[in-house]
Amino acid sequence: MFKKLHRVVFASALAALLTLGTGWPSPALAKGPPSGFDALPQQQRVMVDDLEKRTFQWFWDSADAKTGLVPDHYPSESFASIAAVGFGLTAYGVGVERGYITREQAVERTLTTLRFFHDAPQDDSEDGATGFHGFYYHFLNMKTGKREARWVELSSVDTTLLLGGVLFAQSYYDRPTAKEKDIRELADAIYRRVEWTWMQPRAPLISMGWTPGGMFIPHDWQGYDEGMLVYVLALGSPTHPISDDAWSAWSKTYPRTWGEFQGKTFLNFAPLFGHQYSHSWIDFRGIRDAWSREHKLDYFDNSRLATYTQRAYAIANPGHWTGYGENVWGLTASNGPGDIVVKASDGSTRQFHGYIARGAGMEQIVDDGTIVPTAAGGSIAFAPEIVVPALMEMKARYGHAIYNQYGFVDAFNLSFDGKVAPTVGRIVPGMGWADTKQLGIDQGPIVLMIENWRSDFVWKVMRKNPYIRKGLERAGFTGGWLDQAEQ
């Protein structure tokens, strides 16, 4: 019903192969990732530098100058994605710190964006509004700023990803100038307006969304997935906070995905975006809630394990897809060649997909041979020692087809031979299928997590935000930076 709704999952014929295992490379995961961008060989530093800058440039070039809206995909005609706007608002701060743009440029772009969202119409009309009860529609028309179409839901998680960027702006632009003061006030007003309790038809859980025609989506955010950030922001609200028991209600479903995959036991979520989105803004290193204290595993370490299992899955390659290996891996929500069945000369068939939440984990495998660079790139802070070599090799092998002025294209597939025309993207002779554009929600984790790995930049900014701190504390998190004095 809802186009590109990430929580839609698909059964896979490969699920029976879940029991296949593989060896694990060193170093021991429990000790955490080695740090040090500066310690990389020069060629790798140059590559990561280049990728970060190009990925930032995608946001800077694609955003609408009058509204600040960021397209779902670009370059090509597209509707806006409010989640992509959240990543963009944060990327502008990265751009300032890296010297890609001036602080003044970032202030102007951020003010434009926040003014749009603050002033945009909020009501229950089918076609005339941008949001309702403080939430926003998942996709907006790039020209009008209104709901793109009637298949678009008022999205709790995409509003939350937007708010990640809004709250970043509130904490980052801290100078005593009139414009930066306006940013802080607008950001505060946008966040305070969100009526989290309204989005709880089955409290204490939070619904995935609402539509004027169909009302509340009959599914709630239950762990473990990108909904983590939804609950943190809903718990931190000074105006419409959800109840204290919401976090335990969200996390009590963890047991269904706690288990072994590829030889390691961790909290599974098959697509890597679920391990990246909340971490793009919140530093989960060393802070633990009741669940992670019991399991002696913080959420950052859990995401590190998830990253390693994806690499292990690619090495095992139970689906026998072309090109998979120790440095060519990564499954997450992305574009693909299309919903196409291809018959081989031996009579066997291969099922390919368009946009879908690809992934590999204990509960499910959704894999059609499509590799998504953000799966690795957005996990660089978790496991740089395996991510950087993967990015290097994918670019070295296939860069002519998958790396352009905005970094990696969204996805590529070495098993799609072009005997049937793809729905999107193009056939690259001698290689396979490659997308021709980037998606904002896949570009975002790349640039934010590169910078988090390099400097802790976004994490440091967000540690200062009182709403983030309050939400984490109400969820029961303690330890690490949370136990330090507020900065």
**The pLDDT of residue 346:** 74
Q: Is the omega angle on the peptide bond into residue 204 within 30 degrees of 0, that is, cis?
A: yes
* Separation CA 119–CA 100 (nearest Å): 29
Neighbours of 482 (CB within 10 A): 17
**The pLDDT of residue 213:** 85
**The pLDDT of residue 85:** 98
DSSP code, position 99: T
CATH top-level class for 64-252+456-487?
mainly alpha
| DSSP secondary structure letters along 26-52 | SSPGGG-----GGGS-HHHHHHHHHHH
Q: Is the omega angle on the peptide bond into residue 75 within 30 degrees of 0, that is, cis?
A: yes
**The pLDDT of residue 2:** 38
**The pLDDT of residue 214:** 79
| DSSP secondary structure letters along 322-350 | TT-BTTB----EE--S-SEEEE-TTS-EE
Helix (H) or strand (E) holding 165: helix 156-172
**The pLDDT of residue 405:** 98
Q: Which residues pair with 261 in a beta bridge?
A: 264
E strands, 264-414, in order: 264-267, 333-334, 340-343, 349-352, 356-357, 359-360, 365-366, 370-371, 403-404, 407-408, 412-413
* Separation CA 138–CA 153 (nearest Å): 6
* Separation CA 97–CA 316 (nearest Å): 40
Q: Where are the domains of the chain?
A: 1-62+258-454, 64-252+456-487
* Separation CA 138–CA 148 (nearest Å): 9
Of the candidates 434, 413, 410, 331, the one whose C-alpha atom is nearest the C-alpha of residue 73 is 410
pTM, entire model? 0.93
* Separation CA 208–CA 230 (nearest Å): 10
Residues 6 or more apart whose Cβ sits within 8 Å of residue 363: 256, 257, 268, 270
**The pLDDT of residue 35:** 56
User: What letter represents residue 214's amino acid?
Assistant: G
Give counts: helices (H), strands (E), the chain: 15, 23
- Per-10-residue mean pLDDT for the chain, 487 residues long? 38 29 35 69 97 98 97 97 98 98 98 98 97 98 97 98 99 98 98 98 98 93 94 98 96 94 96 98 98 96 98 98 98 98 84 98 96 98 98 98 98 94 96 98 98 98 98 98 79
Three-state DSSP state, 85: helix
Q: Yes or no: say if 95 and 56 are a contact pair by the CB < 8 Å rule.
A: yes
Alpha carbon 272 to chain centroid distance? 8
